[in-house]
Amino acid sequence: MRAEKSGYAHFMLKEIEEQPRAYRDTLGGRIDEQDKSIVFPDMLMGLEQIRDMEQIHLVGCGTAYHAALVGKTIIEQLTRIPVEVDVASEYRYRQPIITKKTLVIAVSQSGETADTLAAITQAKLSGARVLGITNVVGSSVSREADFQLMTWAGPEIAVASTKAYTSQLIALYLLALYIGQSKGSIEQSLRAELIDKLNKLPEQVQSLLANTSQIQRIAEQIAAFKDLYFMGRGLDYMVAMEASLKLKEISYIHSEAYPAGEMKHGSLALIEEGTPIIALATQEHVLEKTISNIREVKARGAYVIGIAFEGNLELAKAADEVIYVPRTDALLAPALSVIPLQLLAYYTALARGNDVDKPRNLAKSVTVE
């Protein structure tokens, strides 16, 4: 079936707006509400194989790599299995330690990225089991992998990935919960709580999409800048990397993402009067630290736009302005905080008159190494 723009100016905006549906479809049929547990009728990874796993390696490219980075934190926290993450094009050249008890998870929207396929080949040669998380039924990654977990984002046409990234996050949340419940490493009450919060995400995303006027206004302002930085701690840093990539890809504004605590070790030198910085602060266990990093950049003249959960008044005092997202568990925050940042990239590219769906020099799927 050919995807149509259905009245939208761009596929990217349509795909951003499809996210509540994509979340529901990726969650769909995988939660037993009675038991508050995860069921994967489509994955076929046996309990024995899960119990056997000693380590997990996640590989992917671009946006899929950024989803994998979130996956590492989630999987480690919920399963206590050590996880490494690699950019797929680097994986086989660093001679990773792969054993028969390694699960390699390849994340790829298209399932056709050459670097990711090469990483799978390396993993299989070394005796690992491979799980593919892809969005395309019958793709090369899903055929090469021993197990597969589909994301049900639907066809993604815009080069800049949006709904595929967030549905990869949803798949990784489900996977982490599934491994956690199989290993007994996660309390039943925490599992039930996270499942309830996962179920709420689609309507929370819908509420974020309902009012974009603040983001459009900020986009008009930042469109004039040459450089923009993102910062955050923990999962906020992972989302900062994805937000920075999104902005670069389609607005062509130079952008970097930094762990907030690292700014003082060099990057502070880049800050000038008025430099825009987007500071993510959903990880409230490190809020005080992030706020002190915001003070450091503001003291050097930065204009700080914060991203925080509703009700976070401390950030409102520290930043110049705040974009609020609905409250959820800290582990699930990336699935909400990225939404305004996708919209920000979109409206900034639009304000600069760029070809949003087909940015220069980039391809949707890269089938050469």
Catalytic sites, residue numbers: 364
Are 23 and 201 in contact, with CB atoms under 8 Å apart?
yes
First-to-last alpha carbon distance for the chain, in angstroms, is 29
Closest approach, Cβ 55 to ligand G6P, in A, equals 22
- Of the residues 26, 79, 89, 108, which one makes contact with ligand G6P according to CB under 6 A: 108
Structure tokens at 75: 């999987």
The stretch near ligand G6P (CB under 6 A) out of 19-27, 35-43, 56-64, 225-233 is 56-64
- Of the residues 26, 79, 116, 142, which one makes contact with ligand G6P according to CB under 6 A: 116
Q: Which helix (H) or strand (E) holds 66?
A: helix 62-79
In the region spanning residues 142 to 161, those forming contacts with ligand G6P, defined by CB under 6 A, are: 159, 161
Which residue lies nearest ligand G6P, judged by its C-beta?
62
- Of the residues 19, 113, 283, 342, which one makes contact with ligand G6P according to CB under 6 A: 113
CA distances, 240 to each of 7, 108, 150, 229, 255 (Å): 31, 20, 25, 9, 10
89 near ligand G6P, rule: CB under 6 A? no
- Of the residues 61, 123, 170, 294, which one makes contact with ligand G6P according to CB under 6 A: 61
Helix, strand, coil % in the chain, rounded to nearest 5: 50, 15, 35
Are 353 and 235 in contact, with CB atoms under 8 Å apart?
no
Q: What number of residues does the chain have?
A: 369
Query: Binding residues for ligand G6P, how many (CB under 6 A)?
Result: 16
362 near ligand G6P, rule: CB under 6 A? yes
The stretch near ligand G6P (CB under 6 A) out of 107-115, 120-128, 185-193, 279-287 is 107-115
365 near ligand G6P, rule: CB under 6 A? yes
CA count, 13 A, side-chain hemisphere, 328: 22
- Of the residues 63, 293, 337, 348, which one makes contact with ligand G6P according to CB under 6 A: 63
d(CA 281, CA 304): 12
In the region spanning residues 156 to 195, those forming contacts with ligand G6P, defined by CB under 6 A, are: 159, 161
Which residue type does 286 have? V
Structure tokens at 28: 């769909």
Q: Which residues lie near ligand G6P (CB under 6 A)?
A: 61-64, 108-110, 113, 116, 159, 161, 362-366
